[in-house]
Amino acid sequence: MINRRTRSTAALYLVSDGVTTVAAFFLAWTLRFQTELVPWVEEQTPNFQTYLRMLPFVAFAWPAVFYFQGLYQPRRNKSRVEDAIAILFAVIVATLILTFFTSWYRPAPGFTFSRGFLGAFAVSSYLLSTFGRLTLREMLRAVRRRGHNLLRILVIGSGRLGREVTQKIMDHRELGFEVIGFLDDKQRGDMVLGRPVFGGLADLPATLEAHPVDQIMIALPLEAHRKTLRILEQVSKECVEVRLVPDVLQYTALTAAVEDLDGTPLINLSSTPLEGWSRLFKRTMDVALSSVLMMGLGLVLPFIALAIWWEDKGPIFYRQERMGLDGKAFKMIKFRSMSMNAESSTGPIWAVREDPRRTRVGSFLRRTSLDELPQLWNVFRGEMSLVGPRPERPAFVQEFKHKVPQYMQRHRVKAGITGWAQVHGWRGNTSIRKRIQYDIYYIENWSLKLDVKILWMTLRHGIRLNAY
């Protein structure tokens, strides 16, 4: 049943790719030869029938490359960014193959295919294929939310781990998973999260015979290692998919990743979504936006600097040591808002409401967060990001890491000018534990979409990064 459903979904994606690829072919012809977007300098427009001879090769090559890229192996929990990246790679490879084919294939003596057409086709193919697949994906998710096309899951273990994975499945109905029940030796006959416990672990064969099951999730604690091995031996005789939920959540709040050491699987407990291409995309956005903002604010910054200097003839900028990615210290730049040598007698302390150490200009800058603008230079240099956990001073880090669980996990990513905690009001001298909860959520669920959302919320609500 599960394989039939997978094949049906793959067929839908294949049809979508076929339609969008053919549409991209005709669109590329129109853009190249029927519009002035890229002027055609030859006297005569090529014969469209000649270009149509290329279409059968395209209709074969594109699905073949998409197949080998794994795009017809639907994974319900794959993110949109993952899909878009996979499609991009597939289109690049397919275009290279098509370029090689057209350099060899000559439908007429002296005839060559337009490179502009090939470029327009590649771009059109990527955009239309991505749009078609994302549209189909949302349609399938809408169908699953209504209770159709579901994968029936039996969870083995109704303890903490089993309840946690079941709750996540229930929270994301769009993925198309349905927990039909549990098996657990300690809670036979009970109801857990509204799902029945069919029996003990020994009842697995009878349960699989009595209930249609597409997938088994083994969610047993570490100390049940022997039971897990017996279950794996039993299910090896059944036509059902098996997923193992590792009981390592108590040791980490971040997303774990499975690695390979010469055939031996290793679980990386320090993995985050911000790896590989994701990190490159985030860095590209940081560089682009910080550059644009610094140029756009070029007329405002000199006036702020002049006002700071005019008040007490002191330094314009204030450089303070903060803790960033991987616990490395860097100098964070701010417009100076305090009087000179403000901490000479007190040492590092939190700012307070109506702090007497502030200058008059500094009070305005802190209320409006304009004192944070020079951190755009930190972002451009790569020491910070536009979005991320706010960096703390090393003295406070040393204090908090012994008092607040998982505090150091926030240093797995670059510090940010604004963050998920700040746009929800947890800024300045507020609860450290609450801020950590929001920072950990951001790290676990990072995506470019989430970054854009945080930036939009920062602009929309005028979030002040400093409470005082």
40-63 per-position pLDDT tens digit: 655 566 778 888 888 889 989 999
Query: How crowded is residue 385: how many other Cβ atoms within 10 Å of its Cβ?
Result: 25
Residues of the chain with pLDDT under 50: 1-2, 249-254, 463-468
Please classify residue 143 by burial: count the beta carbons closer than 10 Å to its beta carbon, then call 0-12 exposed, 13-18 middle and 19+ buried.
Answer: middle
Measured in residues, the chain has a length of 468
Q: What are the CA-CA distances from residue 39 to residues 35, 49, 110 (Å)?
A: 7, 21, 21
What are the pLDDT digits (tens) for 106-162?
766 767 788 888 888 999 999 999 999 989 888 888 887 777 777 888 999 888 888
Cβ neighbours of residue 76 closer than 8 Å, sequence gap 6 or more: 151, 175, 176, 177
Q: Which two tokens stand for residue 182?
A: 């549990």
Is-contact 385 414, C-beta < 8 A?
yes
> Quick check: helix, strand or coil at residue 215?
strand
Q: What are the CA-CA distances from residue 30 to residues 43, 50, 58, 125, 165 (Å)?
A: 17, 15, 17, 14, 50
| Cα–Cα distance measured from residue 76 to residue 241, given in angstroms and rounded to the nearest whole number | 14
Query: How crowded is residue 52: how many other Cβ atoms within 10 Å of its Cβ?
Result: 13
Using alpha carbons, select from 454, 445, 448 the residue that is nearest to residue 77.
445
Question: What pTM, to 2 d.p., does this model score?
Answer: 0.49
Pairing outcome for strands 385-387 and 416-418: parallel
Q: Which two tokens stand for residue 20?
A: 């969008």
> Quick check: helix, strand or coil at residue 319?
strand
Between the two ends of the chain, the Cα-to-Cα distance in Å is: 60
What are the pLDDT digits (tens) for 373-402?
899 999 999 999 999 999 888 888 888 888
| Cα–Cα distance measured from residue 96 to residue 116, given in angstroms and rounded to the nearest whole number | 14
| Cα–Cα distance measured from residue 468 to residue 428, given in angstroms and rounded to the nearest whole number | 7
> Quick check: helix, strand or coil at residue 445?
coil
Residue given tokens 């399938």 in the structure block: 140
Which H helix or E strand runs over 195?
strand 195-199
| Cα–Cα distance measured from residue 108 to residue 103, given in angstroms and rounded to the nearest whole number | 13
Is-contact 245 219, C-beta < 8 A?
yes
| Cα–Cα distance measured from residue 260 to residue 405, given in angstroms and rounded to the nearest whole number | 29
What are the pLDDT digits (tens) for 239-248?
778 888 876 5
Query: How crowded is residue 346: how many other Cβ atoms within 10 Å of its Cβ?
Result: 8
> Quick check: helix, strand or coil at residue 1?
coil
Using alpha carbons, select from 96, 97, 22, 89 the residue that is nearest to residue 59.
22
How confident is the model at residue 438, as a pLDDT?
A: 86
> Quick check: helix, strand or coil at residue 251?
helix
How confident is the model at residue 465, as a pLDDT?
A: 44
| Cα–Cα distance measured from residue 297 to residue 309, given in angstroms and rounded to the nearest whole number | 19
